[in-house]
Structure 1
């Protein structure tokens, strides 16, 4: 396979990202696919949306795991006689498990397929929730949280990739954003159900998303691109036909995918030395950098312990306020899902980053002023309200870009590297 000069390639990669939000230049064959998008939307979009809704149960499980620790903190500490430090370990162990799951997710998804990896991810999630619900001491609590995190780590990679591989190109951004929308729905459900149930019942309810996901996977097709990569050409074409509609001519897209798979199979494995080339390090740096910044933003600390934050700020119904934040996050992420293919990725990322910066600055100033004024003064109360407003604004700004778009870009990068 011949390559062009790295500078030319880097311009090809940068230009679509900066101006259209797409990660690769549209070829004449892809233009033909886009010209038939109306037919795909009419005949095949229902199948794709149904597939996305089924696999979205995985991110709902992800969100439920994130939100679980917030409404249950006081009860778990009281029932199991845990210290604050022990509960903090419990909350953070899901991230430890997720790191392990994320490291293994790529190989699992390549060897047994996207559906198979989601099956595997569901099992430790179910076992983990049951271990938490029947926990008598911290050991079962910690083990369950680790297992949940492991499953979530696999889900966090596999679902965005599966959605990107089955979605028509003109719907890829919106459908890709469903991943983060589902995460926020899972968080909101944990907050809502935590208002009415104790921590053990809430853990049992956490089993439901993956319990429904497992049978649901039997009713959706495997990723056509993965089937083509594995050489299962008949299954590949059948899967694509189901996704695009039985009355849709898929010959152009079939040839496009076959060329991409053949091109990737002719390439030798990318070595670390190759990462010095701009064609590789530029998109890789953007994708990884955005995901790192997403996690370093501090959003997990807010979501994991939002009830405690509101209680410390003097809100009487902290759990209700927490549910309100969860609902606001769902709405803001829904707006992103609607906008991402209309405005492009970069604009939303810029708006989101600026909003997060401003809101965190408001929170910092409010807490600083609170610390130097008398507690019985009017200014102290105003600063308390201002800090809560800043916190809610931070969640909204996060949801408008940094929350959803890094996952979309990660899945688009996966498609990009199959075409380089």
Structure 2
């Protein structure tokens, strides 16, 4: 729902509120859809790339070129997200949440149209460009929607999880066949059209109206529409207090985040948490699970891919119940540890596949477990912790850096996984197991628990750590000076 409604427990859910939440999370649905949609029809789209190459050049496409084109088709989605993640704050502050979402939908419409027409135009470049543009849409939607539906993260996460079920539509009997796959790729315009049609009926974020535009009257009107109450003084008082805190604290630039000793440590933690999400290997599963299941000897890899999507949806819901009952840090470590074990089991199963055919089932179950543990911890937790590590001043810059780190790692996995998999064979997931173990150890020693703590309590830990580091540096400097004095004293005696 629109930002500014963190505490609406027990309130009547009005039609306007339900409409606003539903409309906003359509962007999360598209995000999840475009992550997984390209997975199931991989072979058919690759055949289309080859047919296009033959039409142009009169010969089959070289295997290396096909691998590069397909990796680019998958990974360029992340480049779009990376570039747009830096524009979110500026566009939202300039236009407001609702208008920014309307403008952003133009990107989704352009991207879906390019992908949907790529086969008719005999142009794999259009598909690649469409993936870039739809990635730019998702980069803005993925970060902007989190504040817009603040207090309704369950709807946001559920919509994103539902989008991951896209491989179901990728079945050859549905839209994954040779003739219909462009419709599958272009289907992303439907939520866009629906969101554009519904947004004019949704109120602007009252928090934006009051805190950014200083329009108290309009903010009150929006609050009344969303809550169904005429008296909204308590909610307005919360926003007044938030505005007072924001006015007291100046905004921090990205460069200042890394220069300031106060912000440097939480910034490093934020970046590594984002890397733990993407370098876990989860998008190797979401992007390439059909080919992974094929190599694992699964007879119906597309159905196994659908199974992974269903597991993802189910455990997205499970994580919603756990995240406020268990510590952020605890859940993150549980997820990382579970994924590490599943990656090791997957490697063993794949390496024994030639001698023990039944290992194909073990590898399939380990992939399901890998996805489940991701949704319990590394999926949602990094974004929770990053938002809670920073106060109002540095938070926008910190979220931009965190988002860019996330998308960059996403691109590395999308672009490089096929090459590494060909090089390492069944042992490719040992690399992810090692990375997961590293992130688990880092989380245990360096990441604080943030659930139930105020920012001041969290910040005090970093102040204490910074003070300890400063004292250690001072002691080292004093010891160095003392040693030099002793040396020169001995020299003068000699």
- Tell me the TM-score normalized by structure 1: 0.80
- CA 1:273–1:125: 2 relative to 1, 3 Å: closer
Task: Report if aligned partners of 2:164, 2:312 keep a CA contact under 8 Å in 1.
Answer: no
Matched, 1:56 2:25: yes
Q: 1:143 aligns with which of 123, 126, 129?
A: 129
Please give the per-residue CA displacement for 1:337-380, whole angstroms capped at 9, x wherever unaligned: 1222233423322221221111112112333444xxxx3x3xx2
Say whether 1:384 aligns with 2:360: yes
Deviation at 1:276, TM superposition (A): 5.4
The structural deviation recorded for 1:323 is: 0.9
Structure 2 distance, partners of 1:345, 1:178, is 19
Matched, 1:105 2:88: yes
Tell me the SS of whatever aligns to 1:88.
helix
Contact in 1 for aligned 2:32/2:160 (Cα 8 Å): yes
Match of 1:290 in 2: 273
What are the Cα deviations for residues 60-83 of structure 1, in whole angstroms up to 9, with x where unaligned?
111111111111211111123161
Q: How many angstroms does 1:382 deviate by?
A: 3.5
> Relative to structure 1, is the Cα distance of residues 277 and 84 closer, same or farther in structure 2, using a 3 angstrom cutoff?
closer
Question: 2:251 aligned to 247, 250, 269, which one?
Answer: 269
Residue 221 (structure 2) aligns with: 238
Tell me which moved more, 406-415 or 319-328: 406-415
Which of 128, 134, 141 is equivalent to 1:155?
141
CA shift at 1:317, angstroms? 1.4
Tell me, in whole angstroms, the C-alpha distance in 1 between the residues paired with 2:35 and 2:142. Answer: 13
Match of 2:378 in 1: 402
Residue aligned with 2:299, SS: coil
Say which of 160, 164, 167 aligns to 1:183. Answer: 160
Structure 1 residues 337 and 50: alpha-carbon distance in aligned structure 2, compared to 1, 3 A threshold? farther
Query: Residue 151 of structure 1: CA displacement?
Result: 0.5
Kindly indicate whether the alpha-carbon contact (under 8 Å) linking 2:49 and 2:124 is maintained by their aligned counterparts in 1. Answer: yes
The structure with the greater share of residues assigned to helix is 1
2:78/2:135 contact within 8 Å kept: yes
Alignment of 1:204 with 2:186, yes or no, is yes
Aligned partner of 1:194 in structure 2 is: 170
Distance across 2 between alignment mates of 1:414 and 1:234? 30
Q: Is the 8 A contact 1:130 1:204 kept in 2?
A: yes
Task: Kindly indicate whether the alpha-carbon contact (under 8 Å) linking 2:111 and 2:134 is maintained by their aligned counterparts in 1.
Answer: yes
Q: Is the 8 A contact 1:177 1:408 kept in 2?
A: no
- 2:76 alignment partner, one of 83, 86, 93: 93
Is the 2:246–2:392 contact (alpha carbons within 8 Å) kept by the matching residues of 1?
no
Once structures 1 and 2 are overlaid, which stretch shifts more, 56-65 or 290-299? 290-299
The 1:273/1:399 distance shift into structure 2, 3 A limit, reads closer
- CA change 1:93–1:161 in 2 (3 A) is same
Q: For 1:327 and 1:414, how far apart are their aligned partners in 2?
A: 34
Are 1:180 and 1:333, in contact at CA under 8 Å, matched by a contact in 2? yes
User: Do residues 216 (structure 1) and 198 (structure 2) align?
Assistant: yes
State yes or no: 1:326 paired with 2:312.
Answer: no
Label 1:186 to 1:227 Cα distance change in 2 as closer, same or farther (>3 A).
same
Distance 2:391 2:24 in 1: 19
1:21 aligns with none
Q: Per-residue displacement from partner, 1:12-48 (whole Å, max 9, x unpaired)? A: xxxxxxxxxxxxxxxxxx9xx99xx6x7523247654
CA distance in 1, matches of 2:32, 2:265: 30
Structure 1 position 258 matched with structure 2 position 244: no
Deviates more, 1:272-281 or 1:288-297: 272-281
Unaligned 5+ segments in structure 1 are: 1-29, 168-174
Is 2:34 the counterpart of 1:65?
yes
CA drift of 1:398 comes to 0.2
Residues 179 and 287 of structure 1: CA distance in aligned 2, closer, same or farther (over 3 Å)? farther
Q: Matched residues in 2 for 1:114 and 1:292: separation?
A: 28
CA deviations 1:68-110 (Å, max 9, x no partner) are 1111211111123161221111011101111111121121112
In the TM superposition, residue 275 of structure 1 has moved relative to its aligned partner by: 5.2
Aligned residues: 368
When Rg is computed on C-alpha atoms for both structures, the one with the higher figure is 2
CA, structure 1 residues 269+339, in 2 after alignment: closer, same or farther (shift >3 Å)?
closer
CA distance in 1, matches of 2:208, 2:275: 27
Contact 2:30 2:191 in 1 (8 A): yes
Cα 1:155–1:300 change in 2 (3 A) is same
Deviations 1:260-289 (A, max 9, x none): 213323433325446555654455444443
